[in-house]
Amino acid sequence: MFRNYLKVAWRNLIRNKSFSVLNIVGLSIGLTVFTLIVLWINFELGFDRFHENQERIYEVNNQYAIEGEIWTWNSTPKAMAPAIKKDYPEVDWVSRYYYDTPFLFSVDEKRIKATGTIVDPDFLHIFSFPLVQGNIESVLSDVNSVVITETFAKKIFGDKDPIGELVKIDNADSFKVTGVLKDLPDNTDFTFEFLVPWDYLIQKDWDDNNWGNNSVATYVKLKENVDFNNFSANIKTLRKNYDKDSPDMETLLYPFSRTYLYSEFENGKEIGGRIELIRMFGFIAAIILLIACINFMNLSTARSEKRAKEVGVRKVMGAPKKYLIYQFLGESMLISSIAALLAFVIILLVLPSFSNLVGKELSIDFTSKAFWLSAIGIILFTGMLAGSYPALYLSAFKPSAVLKGTFHKANTLITPRKVLVVVQFSVAIILITATLIITQQLEKVQDRQLGYAKDNLIYTFIEGDIEKNYGALREELLKSGAATSVTKTSSPITESWSNTWGIEWEGKKENDKTIILRLMADDAVVKTLGLELLEGRDIDLQKYPTDSTAVILNETSVALMGFEDPIGEIVNDNGKKWHVIGVVKDFVFNSPFQKIEPLVIEGAKGWFNVVHMKLNEANTTANNLATIERVYKNYNPEYPFNYDFVDGEYAKKFSDQQITSKLAGLFTLLTILISCLGLFGLASYMAENRIKEVGIRKVLGASVGTIVTLLSKDFLKLVGISILIAIPVSWYYMSNWLEDFAFRITISWWVFVIAGVLTLVIALVTVSFQAVKAARANPVKSLRTE
Amino acid sequence: MLLQLRNIFKWVQLGGQRIFLLKDINLEVQEGEFISIMGPSGSGKSTLLNVIGMLDTFDEGEYDFLNESVHSLKEKYRSNLYKEYIGFVFQSYHLLDDLTVEENLEMPLLYKKIKSSERKALVADMLDRFSIVGKKDLFPTQLSGGQQQLVGVARALIGKPKLILADEPTGNLNSQQSEEIMQLFKKLNKEEGVTIIQVTHSEKNAAYGSRIINLLDGRKI
């Protein structure tokens, strides 16, 4: 019996090649997209979820009401961890995590720069980063011990056993390798190549007990069986005993497992984060698979007349209805299996490019039972979903009707099929408008006036001897003609590293805790960065030595501080008095998607991490860089010369949105393609079924044009309904999406016009291809066959 | 007695009016009979045949088949009944184009839960009896009309039915092919005692039967 079904199914596939191809290709595109998205989602959901007892791991956050709004952030004072350790016995392990910092490693003549961080010894107890060599209890107990990853060990020591080897870090301190870590997996947010104990920070005098300096991450792992609700209520008031300035600031434990996907807070409430993107694409995956299945249903039922006779004969021969249902379901299973096979091949081919697109290293684990189970599950599910309607529809035919030859559906477009087409095209239109709006928004932000000149601007980090030799270095850079202007700053112009609500000025309202961004710049900042000066002048230490305590404000902070004539006003920050010498036009410092925040640029009395250089446009960039490298080598010989282009760094701010936009575009295209495959098939069957009608009309004098209109009209009506459904839905969702950006486009009506017209044209082309073919057929032929 | 129809009515409702397809049909069929149903187009011949074959329902009256009351049987039992006892032959053969001759013959057996080896034997037997062994791997479209109908008759017979219902079995055939099929029916009826009811337009074919029923506008005349 089974063999018989298989035979019939297979022969049916072969006999109706175009139908089979439409079905299989449509379904396999759907399956491919679905699988790719699911792989990606699976990867994202598994991010940092491999830590043992992860439900006991928490990130320490702060929460504070500022200006009536609750703010939540995850950087903590350095003194937080010891306080927790001392006061809260419920905590098993606690570790700080200094920022990821590049350090220079040297062994003999070898110099390698690596990114790593400083942690407490508990760190390896909290997170599951297993040691290949070394004892977890002691690897970080000595001040000058360092733990490195396998790959990094190989890079620096080759095949030599790294344990016990000495390395010099930052050309200053000697460290002994005490442990080797297994390389970090792809799916973790941590990126360190080495770990150094916190004691080193104390030794370097980088530690501080300032509760106002929230700059490191703190992680805790609770003891087993600690009641979290009790404990979190308990630890909330931690700062009361320590923080004199903000004793009311709340200490909050945030589950570490949620940090990657959620961790976006608004007014003290978790509002999502990356998970929203994942949900959105998960939804799209399901929709595309559904559309592919809808195609299958539509094409199968449209072909029902061809199968009607078979149903009739089988029923007369005694086939019970359920056998016929099994048969048709089996056929759709066969098709879905073939489609799955094809999809599998496509997935293997495109997985590398897709990984590239989403920026994640995705892979399929063929050894996992879960993979094979879900693969079979998907095949069964798709086969079931796609085959259910045709199976029920076909198996319900009455043999006496179909065998008599009186069985004819006058119009191929019966209601359920109409609904399915409308669903397909609504989704397609929604996706088209979404893509258009996302692209527009991205373009608008990319075209945003930055307020500084990002071209030919590079920066380097201050490391090694640069601090010491800065004066001479700068002098020589300018003399060499490679740079036209050089400025030391506290952070790259693309990243804001420091902010405060502690700045005071005359007339500041009490309790005003508006956060102001800080940038420090020693000299000629307006010139180097290409800022637009609105009032006053640039910092010029040569001419005005007092400019070491000068400050330049941006427009927003002038407005905040309410200065009528800002020049000469005094602002207090960090116990120093800064005098305002200039006002610059607002420029984008943080996210180009958000509104501009108040900012102060403080002079040479600040602290510095970065050197910005404006390259001389008269020379080629390569020449400039070569000259600068030579100068750097002179003043900082131990370090390799590394630099970043500001425009390149700025472009990275768009990577997430660009991925969204690219994926949306891709999925839109595929949705349209799948929908058109379906429509094409449907139109061809419709044309075939109405061939007699067309013949009669032609004999009676209808022109090709009127017949094409006649045949296409029904479909276009459906597309019209889809447009009406899609526009409000898409408008609603895209308005919501845009809400996330302070700097955003307003949705214009023509987006919907374009999407509607585009869909209509595509549908028209698809349908009329068949309609024209039918209309041009010789009526004598078609009438004779009846 | 094989079957009995008593006061069978069948109608359709058309614009508030009842159009009768069958009107007060009474019919008794004994085992071993060969009956021809005749009448002009639209007189209800095929409808009557479908009612007898249980493919169609009726609106009023009683129908006994082998002492079972068909009119009070559930759909499932009805289909078991005709699966067991009735074979159908159609004007346009209605072979499945996707199956070979051999597979077409095997198909009804699949629904009777007969074991594979037994099916093979039955099919081989039938191929042999109709001298179409050489054509067993051909598809219906590769056969002439007469040969297709031969397969159709063989398929109807393979389940060893008591009754064969043939709806204009020769309607699509030329006179020589017609002759062959009718001879075959006659032989089956005479030698194996299979009861046959056929619908036909042709006086000549009707003459093969032992009894002729004439219909006009759904009524026996």
Instruction: Provide the Cα torsion A563, A583, A645, A188; round to 10°.
Output: 0
pLDDT, position A782: 65
> In A396-522, where does DSSP find H-type helix?
399-404, 415-446, 466-480
Residue A151 has pLDDT above 90, yes or no: yes
Residue A12 with chain B: CB contacts under 8 Å: 98
Instruction: Provide the Cα torsion A276, A277, A282, A283; round to 10°.
Output: 70
pLDDT, position A783: 66
For residue B41, count CB atoms less than 10 angstroms from its CB and return exposed for 0-12, middle for 13-18, buried for 19 or more: exposed
Segment B127-151, tens digit of pLDDT: 998 889 999 999 998 999 889 999 9
Segment A701-736, tens digit of pLDDT: 788 888 888 888 888 888 899 999 999 999 998 998
Question: A13 to chain B: nearest residue by CA?
Answer: B98
Q: What is the DSSP letter of A638?
A: T
Residue A695 has pLDDT above 50, yes or no: yes
Residue A786 has pLDDT above 80, yes or no: no
Residue A8 with chain B: CB contacts under 8 Å: 96, 98-99
Nearest to A313 among B80, B83, B94 (CB): B94
Per the CB < 8 A criterion, the answer to whether A140 and A178 are in contact is yes
Residue A15 with chain B: CB contacts under 8 Å: 97-98
Average model confidence (pLDDT) across chain A: 87
List b or e across A320-355, with b for residues whose CB sees 16 or more CB atoms inside 10 angstroms: bbebbbbbbbbbbbbbbbbbbebbbebbeeebeebb
Residue A1 has pLDDT above 70, yes or no: no
Separation CA A489–CA A497 (nearest Å): 11
Length of chain A as a residue count: 786
Residue A316 with chain B: CB contacts under 8 Å: 53, 55, 88, 94
pLDDT, position B114: 85
3-state helix, strand, coil in chain A (%, to 5): 50, 20, 30
Cβ A317–B99 below 8 Å, yes or no?
no
Residue B90 with chain A: CB contacts under 8 Å: 403
Distances (CA, A) of B73 to B61, B83, B165, B194: 14, 14, 20, 24
Question: Minimal Cα–Cα distance from B98 to chain A, Å?
Answer: 6
Distances (CA, A) of A34 to A38, A340, A358, A492: 6, 11, 15, 40
Q: Label residue A767 by pLDDT band (50, 70, 90).
A: confident
Question: Minimal Cα–Cα distance from B55 to chain A, Å?
Answer: 6
Task: Show Cβ contacts of residue B58 under 8 Å, excluding neighbours closer than 6 positions.
Answer: B8, B9, B10, B22, B51, B71
Question: Minimal Cα–Cα distance from B66 to chain A, Å?
Answer: 18
pLDDT, position B214: 93
Domain assignments of chain A as residue spans, ordered by start? 1-47+260-408, 54-259, 457-652
The number of helices, as runs of H, and strands, as runs of E, in chain A is 23, 27
**pTM strictly above 0.95:** no
pLDDT, position A408: 53
Question: A403 to chain B: nearest residue by CA?
Answer: B94
Cβ A7–B94 below 8 Å, yes or no?
no
Distances (CA, A) of A53 to A35, A49, A128, B141: 30, 10, 9, 69
Interface with chain B: mutation pick from A4, A313, A321, A402, highest number of B CBs within 10 Å: A313
> In which element (H, E) is residue A197 found?
strand A194-197
For residue B179, count CB atoms less than 10 angstroms from its CB and return exposed for 0-12, middle for 13-18, buried for 19 or more: middle
* Phi-psi sector, B193: left (phi>0), alpha (psi -120 to 50), beta: left
**Angle B145-157/B101-110 helices, nearest 10 degrees?**
20
What single-letter amino acid sits at A760? Answer: L
Question: A324 to chain B: nearest residue by CA?
Answer: B111
Q: Mean pLDDT over residues A77-101, rounded?
A: 91
Cβ A4–B107 below 8 Å, yes or no?
yes
Cβ A1–B110 below 8 Å, yes or no?
yes
pLDDT, position B10: 93
pLDDT, position A412: 47
pLDDT, position A447: 85
Cα A11 to chain center, whole Å? Answer: 46
Separation CA A764–CA A246 (nearest Å): 67
Q: Mean pLDDT over residues A552-576, rounded?
A: 90
Residue A124 has pLDDT above 90, yes or no: yes
pLDDT, position A772: 84
Per the CB < 8 A criterion, the answer to whether A156 and A105 are in contact is yes
Separation CA A700–CA B2 (nearest Å): 53
pLDDT, position A176: 93
Q: Label residue A402 by pLDDT band (50, 70, 90).
A: confident
Q: Mean pLDDT over residues A93-107, rounded?
A: 89
Q: Label residue A410 by pLDDT band (50, 70, 90).
A: very low
Segment A523-555, tens digit of pLDDT: 899 999 999 999 999 999 888 988 889 999 999
Top pLDDT among A308 and A491 is at A491
Pull the structure tokens for residue A69.
């709004």
Percent of chain A whose pLDDT exceeds 90: 32
Q: Label residue B55 by pLDDT band (50, 70, 90).
A: confident
Cβ A317–B155 below 8 Å, yes or no?
yes
pLDDT, position A513: 79
Question: A317 to chain B: nearest residue by CA?
Answer: B108
Q: Mean pLDDT over residues A636-656, rounded?
A: 87
List b or e across A135-170, with b for residues whose CB sees 16 or more CB atoms inside 10 angstroms: eeeebbeeebbbbbbeebbeebbeeeebbebebbbb
Interface residues on B facing A, Cβ-Cβ cutoff 8 A:
46, 50, 53, 55-56, 76, 79-80, 82-83, 88, 90, 92, 94-99, 103, 106-108, 110-112, 155, 159
Q: Which residues are registered as beta bridge partners of A613?
A: A458, A486
Question: Minimal Cα–Cα distance from A714 to chain B, Å?
Answer: 28
Question: A311 to chain B: nearest residue by CA?
Answer: B96
pLDDT, position A78: 92
Residue A462 has pLDDT above 60, yes or no: yes
Separation CA A121–CA A247 (nearest Å): 29
pLDDT, position B93: 86
Q: Mean pLDDT over residues A68-82, rounded?
A: 88
CA-wise closest residue to A76 among A65, A92, A64: A64
Nearest to B55 among A11, A15, A399 (CB): A399
Separation CA B148–CA B145 (nearest Å): 5
How far separated are the first and last CA of chain A, in Å rounded? 35
**Angle A691-699/A704-739 helices, nearest 10 degrees?**
130
β-bridge pairing A516-520 and A599-602: parallel
Domains (range + CATH), chain B:
3-220 (3.40.50.300)
Separation CA A636–CA A341 (nearest Å): 59
Per the CB < 8 A criterion, the answer to whether B22 and B58 are in contact is yes
ipTM score assigned to the predicted complex: 0.84
Residue B207 has pLDDT above 50, yes or no: yes
Top pLDDT among A409 and B60 is at B60
Segment B88-121, tens digit of pLDDT: 998 888 888 888 999 899 888 888 888 889 999 9
Pull the structure tokens for residue B9.
């009515």
Cβ B98–A317 below 8 Å, yes or no?
no
List b or e across A445-460, with b for residues whose CB sees 16 or more CB atoms inside 10 angstroms: beeeebbbbbebbbbb
CA-wise closest residue to A103 among A70, A148, A65: A148
Q: Which residues are registered as beta bridge partners of A148?
A: A180, A194
Residue B85 has pLDDT above 70, yes or no: yes
pLDDT, position A484: 93
Residue B12 has pLDDT above 70, yes or no: yes
β-bridge pairing A576-584 and A644-645: unpaired
CA-wise closest residue to A365 among A374, A378, A354, A356: A374
pLDDT, position A404: 67
